[in-house]
Structure 1
Amino acid sequence: MSSLPSRTSLTLHSAALAAAFALTAQGALAQAPASPLQGHADAGAVLARQTCAACHGADGNPTAPSYPRLAGQFPEYIAKQLRSFKAPAGQRAHRASAIMQPLAATLSEQQIVDLAAYYVKQKPGTFASVNTELVEAGRKIYFQGNPSNDLPACVSCHRPDGSGIAPDFPRLTAQDPTYVAEQLRNWEAQRGGRGKLMTMIVPHMRPADIDAVAQFIAQMK
């Protein structure tokens, strides 16, 4: 019978995973695509109020828990996600979204970069109500991962302050914990794909890890 791996070997394995994810993040930063069009925040503001405010708030700070905070988000990340929703079936990084795909399909490339230019200029709100009992557990996972489950630290790609790395690793600070937990649980079903970092990471997260990390992210300033 083979012996169980030691805690040291698990820690080294998790560190190796985290290093690989960090290198991939650096590569994504170096290869960030740039739109040939210039985004205009004023035009994006009009479009945001007309099309996006019902779910994301007029300034990108939603009140409903299941929608992401767009205020202050990387323009490259917002544009990338809108293009993904707009892409033909079979080429999407997301599965069907009854809300986003019909809306994204109507957007021109200029409107996409205008929206992105608007949201990055908005001040992100804060999320005040968190489960304090889970915050410290989430902090440990965010900065250290979970060696017992080969889970790498979130900080490798999302930075110590949750600011992320454009265009692939979004700003997470003060996202609603309900939204964060839903996205983590749905990565393989809705957003996954072979080679996607989160698709490889999420299977290493236990339900308790997801809930704790979501609570920690919500209180980041």
Structure 2
Amino acid sequence: MKKHVLSMLLALGAAALTQTVSAAGVASAGADKSAVCAACHGADGNSPAPSFPKIAGLGERYILKQLRDIQAWDKASGSDKASTGRPVVEMTGLLSGLTDQDLQDIAAHYADQTIQLSGSKELTVKINSGEDVDALKLGQQVYRAGNEETGVPACTGCHSPTGVGNAPAGYPHLGGQYAQYIEKQLRAFRAGERTNDGDQMIMRLAAKHLSDAEIKSLANYIAGLH
């Protein structure tokens, strides 16, 4: 029952996100405006290093929301920063001079690109019982079926069985992303350090009961998902 209730909340969150984030960017215009992004994320959105996420093909709504949230946090000051947008220190000042149309155009440009597959690795993780298990198998299990015992929902409901996400609802394409980046974000959502997933706390609820082993396994599995 707990799993079904959480799945319903995630679905309602998707509807809310669809209603609140509009995108009307022009990809060709965004290509000319994305030079500031290309230095870290690559001209085609496939960053050369896992310290910066791949943003190619994540979905226009999702990319635009992140750009708006990062810009909002950057422009906030004092105590407002604690509850505003999404803090990404590496992007401090990079979006401050851009208009909302600029953000829409950049989002459209990167949404038109194709993400390159990072690939999964063969590795083992130690679960809470102390047993070493195959990380790929555990990652696949949690991604596709969740963990009913702890109330973790399957990732497929929002991000699709193949990891392509749900662009109209604002859920990003995850398949092929750097495992290190996915792991970092899941840990941030679990710890409440990343909070720009809406009032429904979609990702915070999904990650709340993930173990360290499940997070590492999920990230590794998703990196090779296509």
What TM-score results when the alignment is normalised by the length of structure 1? 0.83
State the alpha-carbon separation in 2 of the partners of residues 19 and 98 from structure 1.
34
Q: How far off is 1:151 after superposition?
A: 0.9
Quote the sequence identity (%).
Answer: 35
Q: Which residue, 171, 182, 185 being the options, matches 1:183? A: 185
Is the aligned partner of 1:14 residue 2:16?
A: no
Secondary structure at the residue paired with 2:149?
helix
- 2:59–2:172: 8 Å Cα contact kept in structure 1? yes
Secondary structure at the residue paired with 1:39?
coil
- 1:19–1:156: 8 Å Cα contact kept in structure 2? no
Q: How far off is 1:32 after superposition?
A: 4.8
Aligned to 2:112: 121
Is the aligned partner of 1:92 residue 2:73?
A: no
1:68-147 counterparts in 2 under 5 A? 68-87=53-72, 88-89=75-76, 90=80, 92-95=84-87, 97-131=88-122, 133-147=134-148
1:33-48 counterparts in 2 under 5 A? 33-35=21-23, 38-48=24-34
- 2:146–2:153: 8 Å Cα contact kept in structure 1? yes
Aligned to 1:25: 14
Aligned to 1:206: 211
What runs of 5+ residues in structure 2 fail to find an aligned partner? 124-133
2:32 maps to a residue whose letter is: V
Aligned to 2:129: none
State the alpha-carbon separation in 2 of the partners of residues 83 and 28 from structure 1.
14
Of 189-198 and 114-123, more deviation after overlay is shown by 189-198
- How many pairs are equivalent? 205
Aligned to 2:128: none
State the alpha-carbon separation in 2 of the partners of residues 128 and 27 from structure 1.
32
- Call closer, same or farther: CA 1:93–1:168 in 2, change over 3 Å: farther
What TM-score results when the alignment is normalised by the length of structure 2? 0.82
Aligned to 1:4: none
- 1:93–1:191: 8 Å Cα contact kept in structure 2? no
Q: How far off is 1:165 after superposition?
A: 2.5
- 1:163–1:173: 8 Å Cα contact kept in structure 2? yes
2:195 maps to a residue whose letter is: G
RMSD (Å), alpha carbons = 2.0
Cα distance per residue 1:60-114 (max 9 Å; x no partner): 001211222111121111111111111142352323x222231121211121111
Q: Greater share of helix residues, 1 or 2?
A: 1
- Call closer, same or farther: CA 1:98–1:200 in 2, change over 3 Å: same
Of 139-148 and 157-166, more deviation after overlay is shown by 157-166
Runs of 4+ in 1 over 6 A off after TM superposition: none
State the alpha-carbon separation in 2 of the partners of residues 93 and 23 from structure 1.
21
Aligned to 1:154: 155
Secondary structure at the residue paired with 1:110?
helix
Secondary structure at the residue paired with 2:102?
helix
State the alpha-carbon separation in 1 of the partners of residues 155 and 5 from structure 2.
14
